[in-house]
Each structure stands twice: as C-alpha cells, then as structure tokens.
Structure 1
Amino acid sequence: MTSVPLLSTDGTVTALELREPVVAERPTTPLTSRTAYAAAHVVPTAWGDNVPGAPAELDWDATLAYRHHVWSYGLGVADAMDTAQRNMGLDTAATRELITRSAAEAASVGGALVVGVNTDHLADETVSLDAVADAYLEQLAFAEDVGAGTVLMASRHLARAAQSADDYRRVYDRVLSAAQSPVVLHWLGTAFDPSLEGYFGSSDVAEASDTLLRIMTDHVDHVAGVKMSLLDADAEIAVRRRLPAGTTMFTGDDFNYVDLIAGDAVGHSDALLGAFTAIAPAASAAIQALDAGDPAAYERILRPTEALSRQIFAAPTYYYKTGIAFLSWLNGHQPAFSMVGGLHAARSLPHLSEIVRLADAAGALEHPELAAERWTGLLRTAGVVGTLTTAGGAR
C-alpha cells in the first residue's frame, strides 16, 4: 500500500493509505445517452516567464496531449473557456493559437470540440454595444474559419456596457444572426466571475432567465443550447424545462452535476464541465453505464467525484483552475505544478491536501504511487514533512 501525508489547517500531518484508482475502460463506440464536454485547462512551459501579467508560454505537447486524453475516453473537449484561464492569464495570441492547434488535433482524431468566443481581446474598459458585438463577431469568425464549434461566452464588456435586457438582446441578435452553425450560449454566474453581476439584464435569476430564453427562441436555428454555470440546480432545471425545441441544456454546475445529468421524468442535462477535465475516466465510465442501462453503476461511479469537485470549486470559486492543474500534475499529465499567471499559488496546501484525500476517495488518482511521490515532495519542499519513508509516506 502507498501512503501519503495529509496536512490540516492547523499544521497537523496525518497519513492516508491510498486506494486503487477506478478502472475505466475507454469506450470502443461513441457515448450515446449523454453529450459530455470536458472544459480543458492549459499547461504552461515549466521554465517559461508565466508570471502575473506576462504573455502565456504554453507547453504545447502537454496541453494537446491532455486533450487527446479526454478524447480517448469518448468525451468532447471544450477549449479556450474559463478553465483555460480566459480573463485570468491566457492572452489573445495564446488563445488563438490554442484554438487553431486544438481544432487541428480534433480533426485528426475525429474528436468533438467547441471553443470559447468572447470579447477579451478588447482593452479592459467600457466600450459601446456595437463594439462589443464587433468583438464577438471577430472571434466567432476566427473560430469558425478553423473549423471549431463555438460557445458564446459571457462578456465582461457586455456586462459593463448593457443597461437593460434589451441591450443584451440587441448584441446577441446581431452576433447569432451571423453564426454559420449553431452555437452554445454560456451563462456564467458571479461565483465564477463577480464582474458578470446582472448578466442578461437582471440580478433576479427568473428575470434573466426570461431574457435568455427569449434570445434562444428568437434565434432557435442558430442556437444549439446553453451552458448554465450558476451553481443553482433549481434555476437550471427551471430553464431546462422551458428550452425551445431542438436546443440542449449543458450543465456547468460543478456542485450538482450528478443529479442534473441523471435527470428526472421530464428531462436531463448534458454536460460541459470543468470538473470533467479532472475526472475524465470516471465521467466516461459513468456515461458508459447510462448507455448500458445501469443507473446504479452511474451513481456508484460518479457520486464520489462530486465531493471532490465541490472542494476544487470551493470559494473563491474562480480559483478552481488551480485544483484542476494540481490533479493534472498528480496524475502525470504535466511535468510541473505550474500555471499561467502564477495561479498555482492561488490555493493553500491544506486545500490541496483535501483534494488529495477526496481524489483518493473518488478513485481519481490515476497513478497512486506517482501522486504520492509528487505530493509528498511538494510538502517536503514547503518544509512541512521530512524525507520519504520506504512505504511512500512521511516521517
């Protein structure tokens, strides 16, 4: 057995015996009962100047290999989204290169791909509604030209410029009318980005939902669905039951996805989740269980991952990317625990320790011995534990 140290908030160190990981078979046929995208993160060059405010220097081999890891489990990739640090360190040049490279890789393996379309190449200042629409259209055309599906992300510039629900409708009307293929809308809540307060014209969720649904209904031929990331299951279900025919609810609720994906007698949500990039093998296995008509296996596999996701996405939620990168490192998908903009420092060691514990409980440590070596080494570097014992624990 491999053991690792756990670190509490008072500095106490205890030992945890690691379990075996969940064995997830890669599917041999496409997943059918649910559509699922994992919102993938980016891996920086370990020796790059990825300090706050610097242009992102990405390890393209590791970044793209992670997308192939996701595709190999039958999941789609949602790229250049907030999980990839849009508005938190991923600059315009890196974003465009990421979209171009990911589109080429997706085409090479037949992998499903959607990418974020935003207005974040504009300066961080107030601009007109027409300028917001122009910025959206520029990024939409770029993504479509490289052959990627698109997610129309919530725009900080639109949130700043809009004075009413009609202003949102005006911008979305213009952008959606120009889309060459159906797009996914994205409603990102303030837990993820406080600057998006009052998105769709109101801080009242019911009123904002009415505006969202009117936009979708007015452009039903140009909208594939909506990703809701409010961390409010009741609000998502309420919108889901009113969706225009032919459109889909993609849950972005990293707290409540197990029940939302399972659904009820009226319907279910598909998935576009940052959490799924951390647990791709388990997510795939759970959907394969639904495909096989085994909801009990779905519950058994996916339910334990929800506590892990809640820890990764704990307040302040917008630092969840740190937990995603941390698990990626523990599982051997990147050579260093580092992030664009230095965001690997955004979570404390006790917070990361709880991720280790919950990842073990969920069977999400793909290579327990490697995870133990890396985590214990990080604690040793921090001066928390001494040298490794032969069992892989701490003394």
Structure 2
Amino acid sequence: MFDAEGRVSGSETLDLNTPGPWTTPSGPLTSRIAFAAAHVVPQVGAENVPGAPAVVDWDATLAYRHRIWAHGLGVADAMDTAQRGMGLDWAATQELVRRSAVEAASVGARIACGAGTDQLAPEVVAALEPGAAGLAAVTDAYREQVHVVQDAGAQVIVMASRALARVARGPEDYARVYDAVLAEADQPVILHWLGTMFDPTLAGYWGSSSVDDATATFLDLIRAHQPRIDGVKVSLLDAAHEVSLRRSLAALPPSDSGTKPRLYTGDDFNYPELIAGDEQGHSDALLGIFAAIYPAASMALQAFDAGAAGDPDGAARGHQILASTEALGRHIFAAPTYYYKTGIAFLSWLNGFQPGFSLVGGLHSGRSLRHLVELARLADGCGMLLDPDLAGVRLRAFLTTNGVSA
C-alpha cells in the first residue's frame, strides 16, 4: 500500500478474520497475577490538545476497565507512561483513581494505581536543585499521591519519578526518598522500574547508568523494606535481566507473612516467554499490551491455570496464545516506545470501545498512518479485531480521511 517514502503505491484488499474464540474465566485466575495498564478515553468534542487539562469520557473509560475485569485481569490505572506527564494532568488523575477504585470494588476486582510526583509542574522540576530541599520536595509529592491512592482503596504502584532522577546525586538519595515513601504504605506496594525507552528523562535511575549497579541498589532497597513490597514491575525490555532479577527475588528469605516479592513483567516485547517461565519460576504481569489483548491474555492465563491443575498441555497452550500476539505487541511498542498508547487507543476505536480515535493531550498524533495500518493488520492476524465488520468500516473511513482511496 505504501512505498519506501510513505507514498501510496496501490490498493490492497484485506479480508478480516473471525476473532477468537475468546472466553471469560468461570472463576478467579490463580496461577499468575496479571494487570492491564489501561488508557483513558477523552471526550471527543473537548479541547484535549497538547497542554490543555484532560477532559475524560468517564463512561467509556470505566466501561473499558469493566471489560478487562470481566476477563479476570486486574487494572493498573493512572500510570500510563504515555499519558501521565503527556496529557493526563494531576487533577484528572485523582478523579480517575477514585472512580476506578469505586468501580473495582463494585465487582470485587483487583485495582492498583500509580503514585508519582507529576503534580510538580515542569518549571518547578527544572528549578529543583540536588540536595536536601530538592529531595524533600520530591518526597512530599510522592506522599501526597500515595495517600490519594490509598484513600481510594487501591493498591499503590510507586512509579519512577522524573523529579527524583533530576535531584538525586547517587544511590543514597534514592534510598532516602524511597525509605520515606515506603514508610507511608498501609499495604504492600509495587515498585516500578521504568527504562529510558519509555521515558528518556529517567536515565541513571537508582543512581547509576550501569544496569548491574542500579540492580544492586534496587535489590538493597527491596531487602530493606521487604514486608512492604508486594512486587516489582520492571520495564527495561531486557528478558535476560528480568530472569536474573526474578531469580534474585526468589532467593530472598520469605517475609513474616511467608511471601516473597513478585516480579511483574513490564516487558511488552518478551512477555510470552517471561510469563510462561521456566523450571525456576515465572513472571507475573503488569503490561500495557494487556490493555490491547486482554481477551487473548485471559485465555492464556486460563490455560496456565489448567496446566497448574494437571492439564499436560495447558502451559504450552498458554505460551502459544501469548506468542500469537507477540508481533502485535512489538509493533505497538516500537520506538519511540512512549507513543505506545496511540496504538492502544486506535485498536480500542476499531473495536468500538470509544467513539473517536483520540487521546488526551493530542497524543493520537504520535504514530504514522503506515504504523496504524500495519497495527490493524497484525491485530486481525491474532484475532484482536473483535467486531470485524465494525473494524472494517472504521478502518476504511480512517484511510479515506487520511487521503487513501479504497
């Protein structure tokens, strides 16, 4: 359809496949814990442009979360890498946390929400200096967000902080801030380690540009606060590093409650093999891609549950289902990775779950026409166009609007 320079080079007919069959679980999923990091749907007629406060379509946003919960997955909310700090402001984030927590409680579903420091305006962060005053400002911002999440009744995900990356002088400053933040936790939290492919301003997080040194600092923090840590979400897109870290966590002595920290994979490239695991264990999941493929993710987790219950083919079947979506995941999260939510929203629109293809902050402009057409092709290939007739109508209209004649 497109030549090497992006010009239309001809037309192509794509016969869309029948989706699935995808089924919802009959009971809780047990062999893996999985969260989908869901996006927010904007009001289509509002001024959701760069720099403007987010205006959210709450009905569509919360309905999307109920679809994820109905498939047995938890929702990781208010932590969208490509929206927190890129369109989803702190006022809208607080409302999202409170509304989503109420909806989760109404169906007995799992909800975890991000607590960071993004209420600090960019100009405030730019003025922060390394040292006690800067660290105190970051700590206070974290505390405020932790209390918002806890007061709503959600589990806390302690997100990586751009402000902390700016003011921390070394590992000891990270320890100082996280010591204070974790002291506020009223239940075990999830720690989030986000790589620079998701946010370049986080370079040198944990006090070193060396992944090995940063990992050592991270593990020291976990050991110091193990009873307060449910698990860690690692988004470095490095499967070998994740497996090594997972084994380090497994080697820790159990806490007084008899538990050890989980590793929630945030690797949207290598999630099939990491969730399937090996003879020494597996990763749980906290993934943006699961917001796009939640029907398939649910089926895979149901298969892993069957394997744990004695089905000799269950584990292989679960891995196969996840692997069938891997090409779609790699495409949605291709560089620049921080625009991945554009693809999530496009697929949501094709499937009829939001009235228009848009994101808060105008972020829907973050991907090219060619990228989105290939996304539709890959989604169709793994059964993720859930209503092919509707998807076909919307895709045809999208192409026409963007100058491609059917």
In structure 2, how many angstroms separate the alpha carbons of the residues matched to 1:172 and 1:23?
A: 45
For 1:275, the equivalent position in structure 2 comes to: 289
For 2:257, the equivalent position in structure 1 comes to: none
Could you say what secondary structure the match of 1:184 adopts? strand
For 1:163, the equivalent position in structure 2 comes to: 169
Do the aligned residues in 1 keep the contact of 2:34 with 2:284 (CA within 8 Å)? yes
Aligned partner (choices 368, 374, 380) of residue 348 of structure 1:
368
Letter in 2 for 1:148: A
In structure 2, how many angstroms separate the alpha carbons of the residues matched to 1:341 and 1:289?
A: 38
For 2:56, the equivalent position in structure 1 comes to: 58
Could you say what secondary structure the match of 2:233 adopts? strand
Deviations 1:51-93 (CA, angstroms, capped at 9, x unpaired): 1000000000000000001000000000001257111110111
Confirm or deny that 1:120 pairs with 2:126.
Answer: no
RMSD: 1.1
Aligned partner (choices 62, 70, 73) of residue 71 of structure 2:
73
Do the aligned residues in 1 keep the contact of 2:328 with 2:375 (CA within 8 Å)? yes
Distance change in 2, residues 1:295/1:165 (3 Å): same
- Listed as ranges, the matches of 1:60-139 within 5 Å are 60-83=58-81, 85-124=83-122, 125=125, 126-127=127-128, 128-139=134-145
Confirm or deny that 1:299 pairs with 2:297.
Answer: no
Cα shift at 1:279: 0.4
In structure 1, how many angstroms separate the alpha carbons of the residues matched to 2:71 and 2:402?
A: 35
Deviations 1:136-159 (CA, angstroms, capped at 9, x unpaired): 011101111111111000000000
Do the aligned residues in 2 keep the contact of 1:26 with 1:73 (CA within 8 Å)? yes
Do the aligned residues in 1 keep the contact of 2:268 with 2:288 (CA within 8 Å)? yes
In structure 2, how many angstroms separate the alpha carbons of the residues matched to 1:181 and 1:136?
A: 16
Do the aligned residues in 2 keep the contact of 1:118 with 1:135 (CA within 8 Å)? yes
Structure 1 window deviating more from structure 2 (239-248 vs 264-273): it is 239-248
Letter in 2 for 1:273: L
Cα shift at 1:15: 1.8
In structure 2, how many angstroms separate the alpha carbons of the residues matched to 1:10 and 1:335?
A: 29
Could you say what secondary structure the match of 1:16 adopts? coil
For 1:321, the equivalent position in structure 2 comes to: 341
5+ residue gaps, structure 2: 129-133, 255-259, 308-313
For 1:11, the equivalent position in structure 2 comes to: 8
Do the aligned residues in 1 keep the contact of 2:139 with 2:180 (CA within 8 Å)? yes
For 1:260, the equivalent position in structure 2 comes to: 274
In structure 2, how many angstroms separate the alpha carbons of the residues matched to 1:19 and 1:233?
A: 31
For 2:131, the equivalent position in structure 1 comes to: none
Cα shift at 1:19: 1.1
Cα shift at 1:299: 2.5
Runs of 4+ in 1 over 4 A off after TM superposition: none
Cα shift at 1:114: 0.0
In structure 2, how many angstroms separate the alpha carbons of the residues matched to 1:335 and 1:253?
A: 30
Do the aligned residues in 2 keep the contact of 1:7 with 1:349 (CA within 8 Å)? no
Could you say what secondary structure the match of 1:11 adopts? coil
Among the aligned pairs, what percent are the same residue? Answer: 59
Confirm or deny that 1:174 pairs with 2:180.
Answer: yes
Letter in 2 for 1:16: L
For 2:311, the equivalent position in structure 1 comes to: none
Letter in 1 for 2:8: G
For 2:244, the equivalent position in structure 1 comes to: 238
Could you say what secondary structure the match of 1:191 adopts? coil
In structure 1, how many angstroms separate the alpha carbons of the residues matched to 2:172 and 2:148?
A: 27
Do the aligned residues in 2 keep the contact of 1:40 with 1:83 (CA within 8 Å)? no
TM-score between both structures, scaled by the size of structure 1: 0.95
Confirm or deny that 1:334 pairs with 2:320.
Answer: no
Structure 1 window deviating more from structure 2 (59-68 vs 172-181): it is 172-181
Aligned partner (choices 372, 377, 380) of residue 357 of structure 1:
377
In structure 2, how many angstroms separate the alpha carbons of the residues matched to 1:272 and 1:142?
A: 21
Letter in 2 for 1:63: T
Do the aligned residues in 2 keep the contact of 1:7 with 1:353 (CA within 8 Å)? no
In structure 1, how many angstroms separate the alpha carbons of the residues matched to 2:353 and 2:318?
A: 25
In structure 2, how many angstroms separate the alpha carbons of the residues matched to 1:107 and 1:117?
A: 19
Aligned partner (choices 147, 152, 164) of residue 146 of structure 1:
152
Structure 1 window deviating more from structure 2 (14-23 vs 265-274): it is 14-23
In structure 1, how many angstroms separate the alpha carbons of the residues matched to 2:51 and 2:170?
A: 33
In structure 2, how many angstroms separate the alpha carbons of the residues matched to 1:349 and 1:184?
A: 36
For 1:285, the equivalent position in structure 2 comes to: 299
Could you say what secondary structure the match of 2:183 adopts? helix
In structure 1, how many angstroms separate the alpha carbons of the residues matched to 2:50 and 2:238?
A: 32
For 1:311, the equivalent position in structure 2 comes to: 331
Cα shift at 1:7: 5.1
Do the aligned residues in 1 keep the contact of 2:81 with 2:198 (CA within 8 Å)? no
For 1:208, the equivalent position in structure 2 comes to: 214
Deviations 1:336-393 (CA, angstroms, capped at 9, x unpaired): 00110111111111000110111011111111111111011011111211xxxxxxxx
Aligned length: 381
Could you say what secondary structure the match of 1:286 adopts? helix
Confirm or deny that 1:23 pairs with 2:21.
Answer: yes
Deviations 1:92-116 (CA, angstroms, capped at 9, x unpaired): 1100000000010000000100000
Cα shift at 1:18: 1.2
